Amino acid sequence: MVFSMEPPAQHAGLSALPCRELRGEIRPPGDKSISHRAIMLGMLSIGTTEIHGLLEGEDVLATINACRALGADIEQIGAQWFVTGVGIGGLRPPENVLNMGNSGTACRLMTGILASHPLQCFLNGDASLRARPMQRVTIPLSKMGARFETTQGRLPLMILGAHQPIPITYSLPVVSAQVKSAVLFSGLNCPGTTSVIESIPTRNHTERMLPLFGAEISVQQDQAGASLIALRGHQELHAAQLNVPADISSAAFALVAAAVVPGSEITLHHVMNNQTRNGIVQTLIEMGANITTTPRENMCGENTVDIVIAQAPLTGIRVPAERVPSMVDEFPILAVAAACAAGVTRFENISELCVKESDRLSETANMLLTAGVEVATGDDWMEITGRAEIPGGGVISTGGDHRIAMSTLILGCICAKGMSITDRSAILTSYPNFIPQMQDLGCILKSS
Ligand code: S3P
C-alpha cells in the first residue's frame, strides 16, 4: 500500500509567477449576492424559479443545501438551476444542523428567513464563520419575536422562530446589506409592514430582486441620502426567471491584474454595474486605470456592462470613506493595485474588514509586507506606499479567506519572485473557475 504525504489536489499550494501582456475575454462567475438571494426567494415562492448563470461556488452550495433541508426542491439541469419553492410560511423543519460553511451572507440571510417561521433550527459553519458576529442580526430579529441561543454572539446558534412575528422599523446601526436583508426577509412572514432605515447606502439587491418575484417594496430616499425601505408582509411570491450577471467582486481580480501587468488589455463580459457595488471601478479610474465600458442588457433587474481595461501607470489616492460600502469586499485586491501605484494610497473607515472571512485589514497588510511592500495600519485605516519593483517570493497561509488567496496570486503576477499560497481550496468559495480563467488570460499559476 502506498501512502501519500501530498495534500489532496483541491488543497494543494499554488504559486503565481511574474507574467506579461494579459490578453483575452472572460465572463466572470455569477454574482454571489444575487445567487444567494435567487435561491432563497425561489424557496419562498410558489412555482419553479429558473436561474441561469448561478454562481456554483461553495458559498452558494451552502445556501442550496440549507434550502433543500427546509423543503425546497432544487435541481440542476445543464447550466440551469430549478428551484421549486414551498411558499412563505411553508418551510419544513430540517432534520439536521444547517451547515452554512464559510458564508456570512448565507448565514445572516437564512437567520432572517427562519426568525419568522415557527421552527427550531440549529446553524453552524466553518472556523471562519464561527468567529464572525451574529448579534448584528439576532438583536433586530429578537425584536421581531425570534429567540436565539448563541455561542457568545456567534455560531453555533439555535433559533426558535416566532409563532406570531412582529413587524419592526429598524435603523441600521452597522452599514450592512446582510443585516438589512435579514430584517426584510423576516418581514416577508410578518403581518403589517417591516421597515429598515439606512443612513448610508448598502448593496440593494434584495430591494431590486423582490419585485421580480412579484412583491411590492417601497424605497424612499431623503435629501441626505438616507433610505426608508418598507415591505408589507404576507405577500405571495411567485416563481421568477433569472439570468445572473457577472460578479464585479470576482471581476475585480482580472481588472486589477490587467491594470498592473505590463502590456495587458482584456475584456470582461456582462459585469453587473450597480452604484452600490461599483466603487472598485471608480477607484481604479481615479488611480489612472484605462477603462472603457459598453452597456449590455439588463439582467436580474441590474444593468450590466462589458469592461475593457488596459494597463496604464497608476497613482496612489485617498479612497473616500463614504465609498467603502460600495467596494467593501474589494480592498484586498485594490491593495495590490496600490502596491504598484506611484506614491501613497490611503483607505479609511475600513474597520468592517476585520470581521469578514478573516481579519482582512491585518491579512491584507500581511500579504503586502510579505511581498516587500511598505504598509502602515490603524484600527480602521491603511496606507500603502507603492513601489516600481516588488520583490515578492513570500508564501501566504490564507486562513481560508478566498479573497486573500486570489489577491495574493494576482500580486504574484507582478512580483520579481512571484507569490504563493499554501492552500488553494478557499478559492472555490466564490470563484470555482478562477485558475483556468486567469491562465487563459496569461497568468502563470503553478502547483507548489
Ligand atoms: C453581502 C454584503 C456584504 C458583503 C458580502 C455580501 C450581501 O456584507 O461583504 O460579501 O450579499 O448582502 P455586509 O453587508 O455585512 O457588509
Q: How confident is the model at residue 7 (pLDDT cuts 50, 70, 90)?
A: confident
Residue nearest to atom 4 of ligand 1 (CA): 329
pLDDT for 2: 56
Report the residue among 34, 137, 203 best suited for mutation to probe ligand 1: largest number of ligand atoms under 8 A from its CB.
203
Report the residue among 33, 200, 351 best suited for mutation to probe ligand 1: largest number of ligand atoms under 8 A from its CB.
33
Q: How confident is the model at residue 217 (pLDDT cuts 50, 70, 90)?
A: very high
C-alpha cell recorded at residue 432: 470555482
Distance CA 362, CA 230 (A): 37
Among the listed residues 104, 132, 123, the one whose alpha carbon sits nearest the alpha carbon of residue 66: 123
Contact between 413 and 19 under an 8 Å Cβ cutoff? The reply is yes
Nearest atom within ligand 1 for CA of residue 36: 11
Q: What's the 340 CA to ligand 1 centre distance in angstroms?
A: 28
Q: What is the mean pLDDT of residues 375-401?
A: 96
Which CATH architecture fits 32-233? Answer: Alpha-beta prism (3.65)
Q: What is the mean pLDDT of residues 240-247?
A: 98
Question: What secondary structure does DSSP assign to 16-64, as a single string?
Answer: EE-----EEEE-PPBPHHHHHHHHHHHHTEESEEEEES---SHHHHHHH
pLDDT for 225: 86
pLDDT > 80? residue 6: no
pLDDT > 80? residue 334: yes
User: What is the CB-side half-sphere exposure of residue 438 using CA atoms within 13 A?
Assistant: 33
Q: Which residues sit with their C-beta closer than 6 Å to ligand 1? A: 33, 105, 176-178, 181, 202-203, 328-329, 352
pLDDT for 9: 85
Q: What's the 176 CA to ligand 1 centre distance in angstroms?
A: 6
The tens digit of pLDDT for each residue in 419-428 reads 999 999 999 9
Percentage of the chain exceeding pLDDT 90: 96
pLDDT for 3: 59
Q: Does domain 9-28+245-447 have CATH number 3.30.360.10?
A: no
Q: How confident is the model at residue 364 (pLDDT cuts 50, 70, 90)?
A: very high
Domain boundaries, the chain: 9-28+245-447, 32-233
pLDDT > 70? residue 410: yes
Q: What is the mean pLDDT of residues 433-443?
A: 98
Looking only at Cα atoms, what is the longest distance across the chain? 72
Nearest atom within ligand 1 for CA of residue 356: 9
Q: What's the 181 CA to ligand 1 centre distance in angstroms?
A: 10
pLDDT > 90? residue 18: yes
Q: What is the mean pLDDT of residues 139-160?
A: 98
- The reply to whether 73 belongs to the active site is no
The tens digit of pLDDT for each residue in 46-73 reads 999 999 999 999 999 999 999 999 999 9
Nearest atom within ligand 1 for CA of residue 136: 15
Among the listed residues 10, 19, 139, 5, the one whose alpha carbon sits nearest the alpha carbon of residue 413: 19
Percentage of the chain exceeding pLDDT 70: 99
Nearest atom within ligand 1 for CA of residue 329: 9
Distance CA 219, CA 217 (A): 7
Residue nearest to atom 15 of ligand 1 (CA): 176
pLDDT for 8: 79
pLDDT for 4: 59
Average pLDDT, the chain: 97
Q: What's the 199 CA to ligand 1 centre distance in angstroms?
A: 16
The tens digit of pLDDT for each residue in 272-319 reads 999 999 999 999 999 999 999 999 999 999 999 999 999 999 999 999
Q: What's the 29 CA to ligand 1 centre distance in angstroms?
A: 17
Q: What is the mean pLDDT of residues 373-380?
A: 98
Q: How confident is the model at residue 1 (pLDDT cuts 50, 70, 90)?
A: low
Q: What is the mean pLDDT of residues 36-54?
A: 98
pLDDT for 60: 98
The tens digit of pLDDT for each residue in 184-202 reads 999 999 999 999 999 999 9
Given 306, 329, 401, 423, which residue is catalytic? 329
Same fold, 9-28+245-447 and 32-233: yes
